[in-house]
Homo-oligomer: A and B are copies of this chain.
Amino acid sequence: MNLLYAFDLLGTAAFAASGAWAGIRRQMDLLGVLVLGVVTAIGGGTLRDILLGDTPPFCLQNDTYLYLSIAVAVVVFVFHHRFEQVVYPLLYLDAIGLGTFVVIGTQKAINFGASFIVAVAMGVMTATAGGVIRDMLSSRVPLILRREIYASPCIAGGALLYACHMLEVNFAISALAAATLVVVVRILAIRNNWELPRAKN
């Protein structure tokens, strides 16, 4: 399914840019920026493949992901003075990546015979674990654990895709529906500063 692959590469590039940008804000050198870009882009899918037992993971089987995320990180590094202007637009590409990665991760787990909870968890992990590793490498508490509607739309999208699979809906339709759900909720959350409830002291 070529459209899904195109979105996959788009999401990889957006995630690599967000990782590289995090490295620049934290004063890392060129290599640190590259590592953060690559890890953010491929970390989630790599962890998913390790857990599913599908090793070597996708990024070691198809070089495109590594080359693409390295290239994006280099571009971000070189043009970082002008990058501030594209940070907000980048959030939209990032949302598209989020939706695409949820669909790819959930569907792969379903293909491996995963149950509902496992399939959804693998979808969410595919979309979010790269950013978590990025924040751990930056010695920060991962942002998504603290105050963003980021993983929640992924849970909804993964659950929808699993439900469609059980109802034997055509994959193209259910993938589109699930990804759209993730993207729309995510963008609404950005625009409206939605947050999840938090424990009060």
Contacts and interface: CB of A to CB of B under 8 A. Distances in A.
Contacts of A112: 56
A28 interface: yes
A121 interface: yes
B63 A52 contact: no
B146 A66 contact: no
Contacts of A33: 199
- Which one of A60, A132, A137 has the greatest number of beta carbons of chain B within 10 Å? A60
> Can you tell how many copies of this chain the complex includes?
3
A114 B27 contact: no
Nearest to A61: B118
A51 B43 CA distance: 12
Contact of A50 (B50, B118, B140, B144): B50
B30 A197 contact: yes
A17 B60 CA distance: 32
A201 B28 CA distance: 12
Interface string A170-183: 00000000000000
A60 B51 contact: yes
A121 B59 CA distance: 11
A55 B52 contact: yes
A63 B30 contact: no
A33 B200 CA distance: 13
Given A31-B144, A56-B112, 16 more contacts: A24-B199, A27-B146, A29-B196, A31-B152, A32-B145, A36-B145, A51-B55, A52-B55, A52-B60, A53-B55, A63-B118, A66-B117, A66-B118, A66-B121, A136-B139, A139-B141
5 contacts: A24-B199, A26-B141, A35-B145, A60-B114, A63-B115
